[in-house]
Amino acid sequence: MYSYQDRNLNYYNNMNFNQPYYTEDANPASLYDPYQGFIRGNMFPDLYNWYKFEQPMDLTVKSEKDQMLIYLDALSFATIDINLYLDIYPNDRDMISLFNQYRMEADRVRSEYENKYGPILVDSDASNTYPWAWDNRPWPWENQ
Amino acid sequence: MWIYKKKLEYPVNIKNKDLRMARYILTQYGGPAGELSAAWQYLNQRYTMPDEKGKALLTDIGTEELAHVEIISTMLYQLMNGATVEELEAAGLGPSYAQFGVDLFPSDSFGNPFTMAYIKTAGDPIANIESDMAAEQRARATYEHLMDMTNDPDILGPLSFLRQREIIHYQRFKELRNYYLEMQTKNS
């Protein structure tokens, strides 16, 4: 049942929108690992703010293909989130090195996935096939 | 330019058709606090940002919002996939079927078509970024309202992910805004 009071209480309890922002010399020391960050939608534990369910949902893995794609999704996600942080704090050396660590691992996993299941990027080695592999199913919006 | 990755930023695999939720979630496609509106607001503002931080952040968040348009569209496609005309009509989607058949169309939940009049730009970096912060908060609130109306984990997973991204984007916009305010103080 919708209760305005409960909702506001929950809102204020959860609220960390006004916490001080990072400064150049106050690096966020420990991030979630890519999978834990990915299922939360947030790599930064001190910015995590849940709603409705406290425990983030694990993703269902039905096959080796799923597992590999989720691992790739998690690594790509880590680079996306760290990228946004670095746009604001371009002198954070540790974070640049973490970005590159996840970027290289993501590249490796993507190539491995593409060699098995077809291209994710059209200009990948997995496009050097006959017949043309790009227009093979599934498209991202199709239910697996 | 942009490059297409043939995957979603976060997976969507909805098992149960749900036209009621499709109609509500539609607003995050083409409504005032929707992903399309956010994407274009940021990508449109980036050209005149005063420094490299602003240009980079608006480009990157705008780009991520395009990926969110794809997640929302995917949810709509899967939530409506296989619905009969009778089911669509019963869910209040008869007018949509009459105009668009089973195609997607960016509108809000009431059926008002998407308009670029939703996007804000004011020729001033502080005013622009504060409108971006507000856009993130409105989208976060909308995702919470949507999460209040379902218990399907297949729907809640992506909604929760998208909501959390609004929180991060808000934080980064706020940091950029505060940085520009500091620069203004220093230079005055």
What contacts A30, CB < 8 A, 6 or more positions away? Answer: A45
If one counts the domains in chain B, the total is 1
CB proximity under 8 Å: A 76-135 to B: 76-77, 80-81, 83-85, 87-88, 90, 119-122, 134
**Alpha-carbon distance B89 to B102, whole Å?**
12
Question: pLDDT, tens digit, for every residue of A12-22?
Answer: 444 444 444 44
pLDDT at position A39: 97
Residue B107 pairs with which residues in a beta bridge? B113
Smallest Cβ distance to B6: which of A40, A83, A140? A140
**Residue B8 placed within a domain:** no
Q: What is the DSSP string of A22-62?
A: P-TTS----PPPHHHHHHHT-S-GGG----S-SSPPPPP--
Cβ-defined contact of B163 to A87 (cutoff 8 Å):
no
**Who has greater pLDDT, A115 or A4?**
A115
Mean pLDDT of A65-79: 97
User: Which residues in chain B land under pLDDT 70?
Assistant: none
Cα gap B95→B98, rounded to integer Å: 5
**Structure token digits, residue A86:** 């670095």
Which of A52, A84, A139 minimises the CB distance to B57? A84
Examine residue B56 and state whether it is found in any structural domain, yes or no: yes
In chain B, which residues have their Cβ closer than 8 Å to the Cβ of A42?
A: 164-165, 167-168
Model confidence pLDDT, tens digit, residues B153-169? 999 999 999 999 999 99
Say if B9 falls within a structural domain: no
The pLDDT of residue A105 is above 60: yes
| A6: confidence class by pLDDT, cuts 50, 70, 90 | low
pLDDT surpasses 80 at A50: yes
Identify the domain containing residue B166 by its residue range: 19-187
Site from A79, A88, A89, A142 to mutate, B interface, most B CB atoms within 10 angstroms: A88
| CATH (domain of B116) | 1.20.1260.10
List, for residues A32-46, the tens digit of each pLDDT value.
999 999 999 999 999
Q: What is the pLDDT of residue A29?
A: 61
Rounded to whole angstroms, how far apart are CA atoms A58 and A40?
9
**pLDDT-based confidence at A28, cuts 50/70/90?**
low
CA distance B175 to chain A (A): 6
Cβ distance of B9 and A80 shorter than 8 Å:
yes
Residue of B nearest to A143 (CA): B13
- Does A67 have pLDDT greater than 90? yes
Please indicate, yes or no, if residue B169 is contained in any of the structural domains.
yes
Residue B33 resides in a domain? yes
Query: Which residues in chain B have their CB less than 8 angstroms from residue A85's CB?
Result: 172
Give the mean pLDDT of chain A: 86
* B164 vs A22, A40, A119: nearest CB: A40
Confirm or reject contact between B1 and chain A (CB < 8 A). no
- The predicted pLDDT at position B188 comes to 79
- Residue A15's pLDDT is 45
- What pLDDT score was predicted for residue A19? 43
